[in-house]
Every structure is written in C-alpha cells, then in structure tokens.
C-alpha cells in the first residue's frame, strides 16, 4: 500500500511542478495547491499506513495508529488553506492592476 501511495505522490508532485512551470498565473496557483496535496499525502504515508484504534487509554485495542502524522497533516492543511487564500486574492488584484495573466509579460524591466 505504501508503494502505491509513493507512486501516487510522485505523480501528484510531477503534475504540480508541471503546473508551476507554466506561464498562466492561475495554473501556477493551482500548481501550488496540488503541491500541497502531494505534501499532505506524503506526511500521512511516511509513518506507514496503519489501521487501529485512536491511541486513547480506554479503547483496549490490540493495535493503535500513530496520531502525530494526522496532527501534522491537519496543521499543514490549515496553513496551505491560508496561503492559497492569500495567493488567490493576490492573483486577482494583480490581474486587476496589470490586466495580464501571462508570466512572460509580467517579467518587468530592470529600470523602472
């Protein structure tokens, strides 16, 4: 299962990098979004995909799952949410100001 997940994560990362390298700003934003999804999958996979009860004392189960990656993923999701929201507003404002959505046109010159 971990191997399958690793392949999936690899595909997600390559899609994200491809999107990040494109010229359209919306695609770049979507690329960062997909990149964060790849991250979250990686975080959850890296401790091993176990099945079991939550690690609380009153469950009396045989196996327990590691709660830490889940806490990390939750935190990472919240952060990615905040950053993406900010980025979308920024892209919107940038488009309003420049009326351009192609990064090739947004390079800027040295002397301005």
Q: How far is CA 38 from the centre of its chain?
A: 5
- Of the pair 18, 86, the CB lying nearest another protein is at 86
* Residue 55 DSSP code: S
Residue 102, helix vs strand vs coil = strand
Quote the least distance from Cβ 78 to another protein, whole Å: 6
Quote the least distance from Cβ 59 to another protein, whole Å: 12
Quote the least distance from Cβ 42 to another protein, whole Å: 5
- Positions touching another protein (CB under 8 A) are 20, 25, 28, 32, 35-36, 38-39, 42-43, 45-48, 68-69, 72, 74-76, 78-79, 82-83, 85-94, 96-98, 106, 108, 111-112
CA distance 82 to 112: 32
Instruction: Assess contact for 76 and 41: CB atoms under 8 A.
Output: no
């Amino acid at each position: 299962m971990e191997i399958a997940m690793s392949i999936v994560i690899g595909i997600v990362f390559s899609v994200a990098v491809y999107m990040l390298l494109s010229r359209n700003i919306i695609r770049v934003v979507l690329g960062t979004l997909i990149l964060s999804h790849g991250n979250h999958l990686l975080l959850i996979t890296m401790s091993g995909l176990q099945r079991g009860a939550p690690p609380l004392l009153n469950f009396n189960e045989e196996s327990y799952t590691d709660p830490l990656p889940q806490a990390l993923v939750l935190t990472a999701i919240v952060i990615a949410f905040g950053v993406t929201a900010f980025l979308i507003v920024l892209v919107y404002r940038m488009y309003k100001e420049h009326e351009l959505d192609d990064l090739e046109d947004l390079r800027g010159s040295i002397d301005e």
